[in-house]
Chain A
């Protein structure tokens, strides 16, 4: 069944979109990630204009993270204070990110920048996660216990604040910076940034793992909602029909994925996720490196 998307101005198969939403939802349920980093490139592949894919991706993330954060509120694993600090940084970052996005669009480099961001970040995260989870797999089979490291830097900075839920007493500067950089990425890449935020919270801020995902989801809702608003008001590129189709598939897929995820070992899941991230990264990198079959592209001029 073909459906015409009013903002993207293309006609696509509705079942393809439902399936896409379901697939990404399933993966996000399995691995506990937002799935934006998969959704946006997949939307590029099926021919949604990049600007619409990025903006609509942000809208879809609002739904999936809201659904996720409710579960975490029930388990009291959301650090509201830390979330708010991250959020302040995130909102500033998102505003800057949309400004950068619009500038890149005016000089015709937005596709390149989005792809480069994906290749760099997915490459780094995928490789790190792959190495780390392989090591964890080997440890769990040999029975050795993982060591915990203490970072000194975040404890030496000024403006200290107590984060009771996380059990931390650290400076507000590192969380602000983490929020800021994730906000910029969220706006440019159309992702929630969970795949960067979560490792940063664990390894840089030293937060306990059980509150990390809830807190990250909490702040992502607001950053993604803010990004959606900015894209809707400055670029008119949020396609609500596209978002709804992806959402419906996504929420169903997430539940199936969660059930699959429960039956697998955490380390195995992480190896699979790492492989997935590296495949997406490799595909995008090849497109940048190999000579494209069509060297020219047509775009409407950006209104000044």
Chain B
């Protein structure tokens, strides 16, 4: 068993292309706690490029960093004027859209990343959203995806931070990514891509855990796992507050 594992590992290593440049990564925090006073969070992502050979000559090294929250399906609806009022009419189901997505790069994305590599690794925001098909009746489904990017962009949930990664001596890099207050729980996949001439030469992946903690976690879990108990608790609090207010002010008036 053990021997088999070792053997499998060795073959796996052998099949890997010899990496000339590798990422060593540091995070200011690899866990974000959503507490009652949570109001967004800044994460500093920094690292170094490890190489055993001298820096290759030619075009300089560029760095692209993405942070992606848990993906869920979403429904995008469009309003239209019917009978004089604005109501939701057309709807498009987007199969998977990250709840949060930030992409930071050391230069303009169009220059540091070729289209083919973007398509392969799903790096830019439109590529990170997976939309398979819209109903036949909707001809402009792309408008719905654009609207999704626009709305979440305005909420600070989708961020494009071009030229925001600082690269020193083609070796050290750092950037800061902001999580807004309206984030959801889950593992936030953080990817680092090293590119030269628009081609990805190396990549590295890690996860930042975003979790509700303390009272927030307890209440959320209770509301999902024991909705009956949670409902009764809410009502009990309301009754107690109502009674307390009535009794308290009756005392004051006396």
State the CA gap A233–B228 with chains docked (Å): 6
Contact partner, B223, options A236, A294, A298, A300, Cβ 8 Å: A236
Q: Which residues does chain A contribute within 8 Å of B77, judged by CB atoms?
A: 108, 296-299
CB under 8 Å from chain B, chain A span 233-278? 233, 236, 238, 240-241, 243-244, 247-248, 251, 254-255
State the CA gap A1–B233 with chains docked (Å): 26
Q: Which residues does chain A contribute within 8 Å of B38, judged by CB atoms?
A: 2, 4, 11
Q: Is the CB of B75 within 8 A of A6?
A: no
Q: Is A219 an interface residue (CB 8 A)?
A: no
Q: Is the CB of B151 within 8 A of A298?
A: yes
State the CA gap A2–B75 with chains docked (Å): 29
Q: Which residues does chain A contribute within 8 Å of B84, judged by CB atoms?
A: 289
> Distance (Å) between the CB of B9 and the closest chain A CB?
41
Tally of contact residues, A, Cβ under 8 A:
55
State the CA gap A290–B88 with chains docked (Å): 14
> Distance (Å) between the CB of B218 and the closest chain A CB?
9
Q: Is A125 an interface residue (CB 8 A)?
A: no
State the CA gap A68–B239 with chains docked (Å): 11
> Distance (Å) between the CB of B83 and the closest chain A CB?
10
Q: Which residues does chain A contribute within 8 Å of B37, judged by CB atoms?
A: 1-4
Q: Is B235 an interface residue (CB 8 A)?
A: yes
Contact partner, A2, options B85, B152, B181, Cβ 8 Å: B181
Interface residues on B, range: 35 or more
Q: Is the CB of B87 within 8 A of A62?
A: no
Q: Is the CB of A247 within 8 A of B241?
A: yes
Q: Is A228 an interface residue (CB 8 A)?
A: yes
Q: Is A135 an interface residue (CB 8 A)?
A: no
Q: Is A216 an interface residue (CB 8 A)?
A: no
Count chain A CB atoms within 10 A of each CB in B34, B144, B245 and give the residue with the most. B245
Q: Is B234 an interface residue (CB 8 A)?
A: yes
Given contacts A255-B249, A299-B74, contact A65 B231 (CB under 8 A): no
Q: Is A154 an interface residue (CB 8 A)?
A: no
Number of A-B contacts (CB under 8 A): 180
Given contacts A238-B234, A244-B237, contact A70 B243 (CB under 8 A): yes
Given contacts A112-B87, A238-B230, contact A62 B239 (CB under 8 A): yes
Contact partner, A65, options B34, B215, B220, B242, Cβ 8 Å: B242
Q: Is B79 an interface residue (CB 8 A)?
A: yes
Q: Which residues does chain B contribute within 8 Å of A109, judged by CB atoms?
A: 87-88
Q: Is B172 an interface residue (CB 8 A)?
A: no
Which residue numbers of B lie inside 8 Å of A, CB to CB?
Answer: 34-40, 72-81, 84-88, 91, 93, 144, 147-148, 150-152, 181-182, 184, 212, 215-217, 219-220, 223-224, 227-228, 230-235, 237-239, 241-246, 249
19 pairs, A vs B, C-beta closer than 8 Å: A4-B35, A7-B223, A63-B242, A63-B245, A70-B242, A70-B243, A233-B231, A236-B224, A238-B234, A240-B237, A241-B36, A248-B241, A251-B242, A251-B244, A251-B249, A289-B84, A294-B151, A296-B150, A298-B75
Which residue numbers of A lie inside 8 Å of B, CB to CB?
Answer: 1-4, 6-7, 9-11, 59-60, 62-68, 70-71, 108-109, 111-112, 116, 225, 228-229, 231-233, 236, 238, 240-241, 243-244, 247-248, 251, 254-255, 288-292, 294-301
